[in-house]
Structure formats: C-alpha cells, structure tokens
Amino acid sequence: MIVDLDPDDPRPVYQQIVDEIRRSVAIGVLKPDDPLPAVRRLAEDLKVNANTVQHAYRRLEQEGAAYVKRGLGTFVSARQRDAGQVRQAAMARQIAERMLREGFRHGLLASDLIGALQDIAPGRALPKKG
C-alpha cells in the first residue's frame, strides 16, 4: 500500500494521505501517469471516509501533482511543479517536523535530536558542532 496512516500523527488524515502520495512519487514508487487508487478503494483500505480521500486527491490536483481523467480516475502528473530537489527538501522537512514533535513529547530538545543524528549519520554526513 502506498499510504500508511499514523493514528498518533497530529496532521489531519487528508494531509497524511497527500504527504504519503508525495513521498511515493519522490522515491519513485509512483511514476508520472500512474493511477492513484480509486477513492472508495483507498478509503476502505485505510478505514476512512471517502470524502477524506477525495479531499486529499483534490489537494494534489490543485498542487499540480495529480490530474483527473473523467471516468477513469486520478493519476500522477507528468509535469510536477516541484523539481526533485525541492520535493526532497519538503520531504526532509516533514520528517524532521515529525521527529521534533515526537522528541518534544519525550522531553528532548532539538539539539538532542541533532546530536543523535550526527552520531548515527553514515560517514558523518552532518558537520559536528563544536
């Protein structure tokens, strides 16, 4: 399944769907002109209201990330507004935001999380602050 919802995530469900579809496009699971799951099917799979999925698909269409073929469904747009680097930066920011929320819930500071990332980053990709 291309969409995985997190019940503990404070983002609205429709936004989680939008973000998961964007992520699937960014990592190449979904390619231009690939069909998105039918609204009712995805709603059943995720156990959410079909209007929620429809709202997410409308948002993707407004952003230019998807298009609708009447009677056929919703498809990944071949002409994404964002370049690959912009999509990656947006995805990194979303992941970082989730990490910060989770860390704050456990009493950690941003500096604690940055330090942990620096410790585990392969090849010390992040510069150590001194």
Residues 22-41 have pLDDT tens digits of 888 888 899 999 999 999 99
CA distance 49 to 47: 7
Token pair 């090849």 is found at 123
Q: How confident is the model at residue 79 (pLDDT cuts 50, 70, 90)?
A: low
Q: Give the model's pLDDT for residue 86.
A: 62
- Asked if the model's pLDDT at residue 89 lies above 80, the reply is no
CA distance 10 to 110: 19
Q: How confident is the model at residue 67 (pLDDT cuts 50, 70, 90)?
A: very high
- Domains along the chain with CATH numbers: 13-76 (1.10.10.10), 84-124 (no CATH)
Q: 81 or 50: whose pLDDT is higher?
A: 50
Radius of gyration of the chain (CA): 17
76: β partners: 66
- Asked if the model's pLDDT at residue 81 lies above 50, the reply is no
Average pLDDT, the chain: 86
